[in-house]
Amino acid sequence: MTRFQRWALALTVPAAVLAIGLYVFPIFQVLALSFLEPKPGFGNYVSLFGNAAIGRVVRTTIIVSVLTTAITVVLAYVVAFAIVQMPRGRRRVALFLVMVPFWISVLVRAFSWITILRRNGVLNTVLTEAGAISEPLDLVYNQFGVIVGMVHYMMPFAILLLVANLGDIDRRIIQAARSLGAQPATVFWRVWLPLSLPGVSIATLFTIIFSLGFLVTPAILGAGRVLMIAEYLSVQISSTLRWGVATALSTLMLVAVGLLVAGAMRHPAMRAAFGGGRA
């Protein structure tokens, strides 16, 4: 290690101390609570598996997260694909527009969706007046509304991840495919898509991990009808004071996400994504 490297390492120490103090240590406290509340042992974990209600919460969370991820990645791919084809100036504008939702609080976004989707909302009014529907559609306060809100939240993340990856693809390979007589569709399916798999897989992983922990969006857009893990945990911590069950469930969720990441990392596409796209 050079003198410079040692200094560089030293500079990361305060951040590491903060992260361990404010993140790792509390996580171990959570872990400890899950074994100690209300009495020491594995009781909380055992009760998790016997509890049909928690099973339903977990199932809802998985269904909503998987659907959100699938829709997000497909839509984000379309947008990212269009963005990388744009000339530099227009591309900058498009990326700017993708970033705009980042500046708006998740609460404001959820309430905006209610304004659009509710029975007397913008969308239903337009559809009714256009004669497309006779009865307003139930677009919010259900799973559909929750997924709309979550997809909207996740889109910018997925787009940015995919733009970075698609922008890295060597255009000479595409030109080579065209010069060898491939049709545009063939070029996309046989060249673009395989080359963009690292980007797709990292966007998928990122979106699903994020989706599993959604709290505010399902609570507002689901209005009690879509109960996901994060909201369930928040009720157990702040209202019913069942900290043992809550910490056990969050520990299990952490382990599940850890396994998901570990499993995904074994895939060559994912290793390529972390290796900079060329590994």
Q: Tokens 């500079």 correspond to what residue?
A: 11
Buried b (16+ CB within 10 A) or exposed e, 111-141: eebbebbbeebebbeeebeeeeeeeeeebbb
Determine the interface stretch with other proteins among 125-133, 157-165, 192-200, 215-223 (rule: CB under 8 A): 215-223
CB of 140 to other proteins, least distance (A): 9
Among 113, 210, 214, 232, binds other proteins (CB under 8 A): 232
Compute how many other C-beta atoms are within 10 angstroms of the C-beta atom of residue 176: 13
Is 224 a binding residue for other proteins by CB under 8 A? The answer is: yes
Q: Which is nearer to other proteins, 113 or 232 (CB)?
A: 232
Among 40, 50, 238, 276, binds other proteins (CB under 8 A): 238
| Interface mask toward other proteins for 20-59; x: CB under 8 A | ---------------------------------x--xx--
Is 250 a binding residue for other proteins by CB under 8 A? The answer is: no
Q: Within 141-200, which residues bind other proteins (CB under 8 A)?
A: 141
Is 120 a binding residue for other proteins by CB under 8 A? The answer is: yes
Is 5 a binding residue for other proteins by CB under 8 A? The answer is: no
The residues, ordered by sequence, that sit 6+ positions from 234 with a Cβ below 8 Å of its Cβ are 215
Among 223, 253, 257, 269, binds other proteins (CB under 8 A): 223
Show the CA angle centred on residue 273, arms to residues 93 and 165, nearest 5°.
Answer: 25
Count, residues near other proteins per rule CB under 8 A: 23
How far is it, in rounded angstroms, from Cα 61 to Cα 59?
5
The residues, ordered by sequence, that sit 6+ positions from 277 with a Cβ below 8 Å of its Cβ are 165, 168, 198, 199
What are the structure tokens assigned to 161, written together?
């991840």
Among 208, 226, 229, 249, binds other proteins (CB under 8 A): 226
DSSP label of 180 = T
Q: Within 52-91, which residues bind other proteins (CB under 8 A)?
A: 53, 56-57, 60
What are the structure tokens assigned to 15, written together?
């951040």
Nearest Cα neighbor of 113 from 86, 84, 78, 140 is 140
Is 119 a binding residue for other proteins by CB under 8 A? The answer is: yes
Is 110 a binding residue for other proteins by CB under 8 A? The answer is: no
Handedness of CA 142, 154, 64, 252 (dihedral sign): negative
Is 100 a binding residue for other proteins by CB under 8 A? The answer is: no
Among 17, 74, 241, 261, binds other proteins (CB under 8 A): 241
Among 49, 134, 239, 266, binds other proteins (CB under 8 A): 239
Task: Report whether 153 contacts 70 (CB < 8 A).
Answer: no
Is 105 a binding residue for other proteins by CB under 8 A? The answer is: no
The residues, ordered by sequence, that sit 6+ positions from 227 with a Cβ below 8 Å of its Cβ are 56, 57, 60, 218
Q: Which residues bind other proteins (CB under 8 A)?
A: 53, 56-57, 60, 118-120, 141, 219, 222-227, 232, 235-236, 238-242
